[in-house]
Amino acid sequence: MALADFLRDSVGIDEPVEAAFRQVPRHLFVPERAAPLAYSDESVVVKAGADGTPLSSSSQPTMMAIMLNQLGLERGHRVLEIGAGTGYNAALMAHIVGQTGNVVTVDIDAELTARASASLTAGGYGQVRVHCADGASGFPGHAPYDRIIATVGAWDIAPQWLEQLAPGGRIVLPLSVRGVQLSVALDRADGYLASTSAVWCGFIRMAGALAGPETILPAGPQPGMRFGTDDGRPLDPDAVYAALNGPAVVVAAELPEVTRTELGDADLWLTMVEPELLRVSVHRGGAPGQAAGPAQPFYGLAEVAKPDGRLGIAAVTLGPVDADQEQAGAVDAGPEEAGAAGSGAALLIRGYGPYGTELASYLAARAGTWHRLGRPGIASLRLRVYPPAAEVTGDLVVRRPCSTLVLGWR
């Protein structure tokens, strides 16, 4: 099958994962797509809200394959999936763990669980147990689990997941840290969870008891620009709109050229080591040809704590732009989208708003520190998860209601 060949060649998936993609018929789980198109490497939205916001999707196969690699499933494993979706991922896992294994998938949406159950039965995977439940509680009826995977974006680690995880078990989930979503594999250690890998990802956020404070707000005329902040701290929509539709001041970091991968690493490091700055994501959904605002999507850091109330937003990007150049309302996308600059280019910081020049200059100087430290990035990022009251230290300590996250670079 072409999709399995593509995943093998592009991601380097394990043999059991490759075999699952060859055998499980994706078109049965995404009837929205004609059979040939169902095997393209694209996500498929299967449910949306009244405003068009996606509520559930069948994830991009590449991301599914990466997470299944992270999960490290074996024959006979007991697996809990948070976020049933279409049921396709549960079918892949059922194929890998075999008849001696056990896959349980839960979703808070009864319509989705009914659909997933029907599709799993039609595909020959009726042994998968599908339940309508809030995934924040796990599913104790079939615990303990050797592996737990969440296919929805999480903001915290539910204590129930830890209670239901078997000794030597592993959790893989898209975890939001400072507004950056990372697919993290976490192994049980002595009193905490320790990451073994992390990759960039982007999933629909979890609903229910474990939903985080992240919100998406409109800015300016609608339909049009929408933005969100990493932790619910307020940011004036009118000020955001005015800043991002004004001139962009470009400051070049004084360091050797960087690649696209290193651009993402720089953005990640700056976000994690500057917790006083807000992580801002901006999306634009206006009518075709509408020129307001940045390209979609846009990720940056905002300074909102200045005594005079001046707002500054800055974002890292690549390009051969002179440091003094200004561009009105034209913004390169965030690091995930900035691949057109080739194998290496200058690291630029684009600043917006009244404080944009000062903020861009500050972050350009901090990028120099990132370079001197050896350009730490996602490959060397390490995350530990402790109970909420734990006394810990690290490059970044993030307190959540159910856990304490400690991030650092090895």
In whole angstroms, give the CA distance from residue 383 to residue 197.
Answer: 9
Instruction: Return the number of other C-beta atoms located less than 10 Å from residue 254's C-beta.
Output: 13
Q: Tell me, rounded to whole angstroms, the distance of Cα 99 from its chain centroid.
A: 32
Given a contact cutoff of 8 angstroms between Cβ atoms, the answer to whether 86 and 25 are in contact is no
One-character DSSP codes across 371-387? HHTT---GGGEEEEEE-
Cβ neighbours of residue 337 closer than 8 Å, sequence gap 6 or more: 295, 297
Q: Which residues are catalytic?
A: 59
Given a contact cutoff of 8 angstroms between Cβ atoms, the answer to whether 386 and 392 are in contact is yes
Q: Which residue has the tokens 């990007």?
A: 317
**Long-range contacts for 28-37 (Cβ within 8 Å, ≥24 apart)?**
28/119, 28/122, 28/123, 29/58, 29/86, 29/87, 29/88, 29/91, 29/116, 29/119, 29/123, 30/58, 30/86, 30/88
**Long-range contacts for 42-48 (Cβ within 8 Å, ≥24 apart)?**
44/86, 46/85, 46/86, 46/112, 46/115, 47/109, 47/111, 47/112
One-character DSSP codes across 256-273? --B-HHHHHHHHHHHHHH
Of 282, 302, 278, give the one whose Cα is nearest residue 226: 282
Count the alpha carbons within 13 Å of 142 in the hemisphere toward its beta carbon: 21
